[in-house]
Amino acid sequence: MEFSAKKIAEYLNGSVEGNKNTKVSNVSSINDATPGSLTFLANPAYAQFLYTTKASIVLINKDFKIEKPVNCTLIRVDDAYNSLAKILELYNKYLPEKKGVSKLAYISKSAKIGKNTYIGEFAYVGENTIIGDNVKIHPQSYIDYNVKIGDNTKIYPGTKIFDRSVIGKDCIIHAGAVIGSDGFGFAREADKNFKKIAQIGNVVIEDNVEIGANTTIDRATFGSTIIKKGTKLDNLIMIAHNVVIDKNTVIAAQSGISGSSKVGKNCMIGGQVGISGHLNIEDNVKIAAQAGIGSNIKKDKTIMGSPAIDASNYKKSYVHFKNFQRIINKIEELESEINTLKKKKKK
């Protein structure tokens, strides 16, 4: 599928600088683009590539100043990065979609399947499960009994969704994710053995949530583990039982949230962050990668480190962390001089 600069500009409410009839059929990064491709410039660190890129069309911000001649057609937009997201979404709509229910899929007779649903080979849909319209369940997915999946949701290969889980509309669950497995709950007995606590709750995922590949979300001990509307979880994330993540929060890969912790709205959590159990992370908090969270965090804070502290304090402290050996050497040197002076004074 080809798109002209004119059509792209109209779609993005942008303006064309150059040949309006220039056409593209794919999207590339600006530094390794080829003729016939569309790219974008949003980060000033890549500005140098605008003058050497082989892309046919480049999306740039309206306020970007051209310093040298360019060989491509430019489309000026309010936000180049967001405009690229819109183009990729449009491009994705033109890709061929799988349809129909495979004869090799197992669907319980009591399950209810919506219109225009795709269910791939060796997928399993359990008893009394309800699948909405336009849902796509890819091969080897396991959907347990009494599950509800809303309209337009995509379930990628190998996903496991356990009993009574509720998945909203317009969600994306990537390959290998596990939704609703048992929470990590054990009671220590007098003989120091651990007795398993039955996990009788479920998982509720609201609308427009994306769950990354091999991410796991445990069912609640009782009640629900809840991922609220608009939240985005990266690959390889662990969400424990009875956790609640509020709206429009994003969490990067390899992070883990322990049981019964609450994360507020619009939070941004970096990769490999660990959050202890029974904590409250309030709205608009930003947590840097590899931070260790052991206490509650008030809203609008930016923190980093392990144990985590205010980011500005951490950066000041880090100046001393990296010079710690030099500081120790200086202290030892001063102690040696003091001891020498004391010996002289005794004489």
Catalytic sites, residue numbers: 241
Distance separating alpha carbons of residues 104 and 54, to the nearest angstrom: 46
Does residue 212 contact residue 235 with C-beta atoms inside 8 Å? yes
> Amino acid identity, residue 182?
D
- Alpha-carbon span 40 to 46, nearest angstrom: 10
**What is d(CA 279, CA 236) in angstroms, rounded to the nearest whole number?**
21
Q: How many CB atoms lie within 10 A of CB 93?
A: 9
The first and second tokens of residue 231, run together, are 């939240």
Distance CA 276, CA 263 (A): 12
172-173 and 210-211 strand pairing: parallel
How many other C-beta atoms can be found within 10 angstroms of the C-beta atom of residue 263?
Answer: 27
Write the DSSP string, 202-256.
EEEE-TT-EE-TT-EEEPPSSSEEEE-TT-EE-SS-EE-TT-EE-TT-EE-TT-E
Cβ atoms of 50 and 31 within 8 Å: the answer is: no
Q: Is 209 left (phi over 0), alpha (psi -120 to 50) or beta?
A: beta
- Give dist(CA 161, CA 276) in Å, integer: 25
